[in-house]
Homo-oligomer: A and B are copies of this chain.
Amino acid sequence: MKLSDRKKKILSAVVDESISRGEPISSKDIQEKYLSEYSPATIRNELMALEEMGFLSQPHTSAGRVPTVEGYKKYVDELMTIKRLSKKEADLLKDGFNERLLNLNDVLKKAAKTISSATNYASVVYYGITPSAVIENIVLVKLTEKQTLVVVVTDQGSIKEETNSISASEDELLSANKILLNVLRGRKIGEMNECRNLVTGELLRYKTIFDCIIELLTERDDLARNMAVEGKDNLLSYPEFQDQNKLKNTMHLLERQDDLYKVMSDPNVEVSVRIGGDDEDDLKDVSIVTATYKVNGKPIGSAGVVGPVRMDYSKVVSILKNVTKLLEENDFFGGNT
């Protein structure tokens, strides 16, 4: 559906104003701030047309216009320009990552905090090793009499687990480690199931250990899955979440990390914008913007924002792009180069 230039301007104006004010926008508002060359009456005619096309709606007869979900979509797809961040803003984002970050969870948390305070929405940052990760190293170490530490290093980062189901002497562990490495190095995590029958000959002695490792790597869609959610409380400041039901739905969504993860992890596009999630119960009141980031060229996680449909998409997209770039550059995830 092609829009005339003036219709584009007017739709943009309604969306921009809605984003910043959160109230219905009148023809007069638009005339004063955006289109002083036309009278309110002319703008009203255009508004009517845009409403018929499904991009705008009125809460009631004597109110201004509000964008529909379709209107926001049109705006995001065709009308919006993504402003680059100023040097100052970009530096501000960067600053957060300068402090010493000790482990994965700290990194994710810091990233989520940075995003949520820069956008004033809720933020989710996700990291998870994919089945295509290639095993580069395996380390077995005895920590105490009972505890053994298993580390599997992949090109996407490492998986650690302390277990007390391995009981072997240090020497045994060392031999087992070598043999395991021989068999598994270079294989993909996703192939582990087929590796079960590799236990033959001399390997048989270490079957328990082998099984334990395979167990650790197999049949789990949450492999080294880590997620940080920050800034839920930001949402409270938006009038749309005064509505108890919307608020409950959204907060509940943000608490259930297992579901949230499904929404977040679409590694196929660099940036995805989901507006008022098509009818799905928990998503219908919110918009979700996500950006993926890569380690060694493979998408292994994403950073996203959850907020009201009336979201500053342009700002959010540029902030997310910035943060994912920071995550990629700073090599937090121990992937090799």
B161/A336 in contact, CB under 8 A: no
Partner-contacting stretch, out of A79-87, A203-211, A228-236? A228-236
Q: Does A221 contact B (CB under 8 A)?
A: no
Contact partner of A334 (CB less than 8 A), chosen from B162, B255, B336, is: B162
Partner-contacting stretch, out of A124-132, A143-151, A179-187, A270-278? A143-151
Chain B residues contacting A242 (CB-CB under 8 Å) are 244
Q: Mark A193-218, 1 if CB is under 8 A from B, else 0.
A: 00000000000000000000000100
Task: Quote the shortest CB–CB distance from A166 to chain B (angstroms).
Answer: 13
Chain B residues contacting A230 (CB-CB under 8 Å) are 255
Q: Mark A135-161, 1 if CB is under 8 A from B, else 0.
A: 011010101111101010100001011
B144/A151 in contact, CB under 8 A: no
What's the Cα separation between A255 and B147 when bound, in Å? 34
Known: A232-B255, A236-B251. A143 touches B139 (CB 8 A): yes
Copies in the complex: 2
Q: Does A1 contact B (CB under 8 A)?
A: no
What's the Cα separation between A144 and B251 when bound, in Å? 41
B236/A248 in contact, CB under 8 A: yes
B141/A334 in contact, CB under 8 A: no
Task: Quote the shortest CB–CB distance from A285 to chain B (angstroms).
Answer: 14
B161/A153 in contact, CB under 8 A: no
Task: Quote the shortest CB–CB distance from A217 to chain B (angstroms).
Answer: 12
A105/B105 in contact, CB under 8 A: yes
What's the Cα separation between A151 and B141 when bound, in Å? 10
| Most B-side CB within 10 Å, residue of A143, A153, A216, A231 | A143
A141/B139 in contact, CB under 8 A: yes
Q: Does A247 contact B (CB under 8 A)?
A: yes
Task: Quote the shortest CB–CB distance from A141 to chain B (angstroms).
Answer: 5
A146/B255 in contact, CB under 8 A: no
Contact partner of A103 (CB less than 8 A), chosen from B161, B244, B255, is: B161
Q: Does A252 contact B (CB under 8 A)?
A: yes
Chain B residues contacting A151 (CB-CB under 8 Å) are 141, 143, 149
Question: Which residues A21-60 have CB closer than 8 A to chain B?
Answer: none
Question: Which residues A246-272 have CB closer than 8 A to chain B?
Answer: 247-248, 251-252, 254-255
| Most B-side CB within 10 Å, residue of A105, A231, A248, A251 | A251
Contact partner of A144 (CB less than 8 A), chosen from B103, B144, B161, B334, is: B334
Would you give 12 A-B contacts (Cβ < 8 Å), ordered by A? A103-B160, A136-B144, A139-B141, A147-B153, A158-B162, A160-B160, A230-B255, A231-B255, A233-B251, A236-B247, A236-B248, A237-B248
15 further A-B contacts with Cβ under 8 Å, apart from A141-B141, A141-B151, A232-B232, are A102-B161, A103-B162, A136-B144, A139-B141, A143-B151, A143-B153, A143-B158, A143-B334, A144-B334, A147-B334, A149-B151, A233-B255, A236-B247, A236-B248, A237-B248
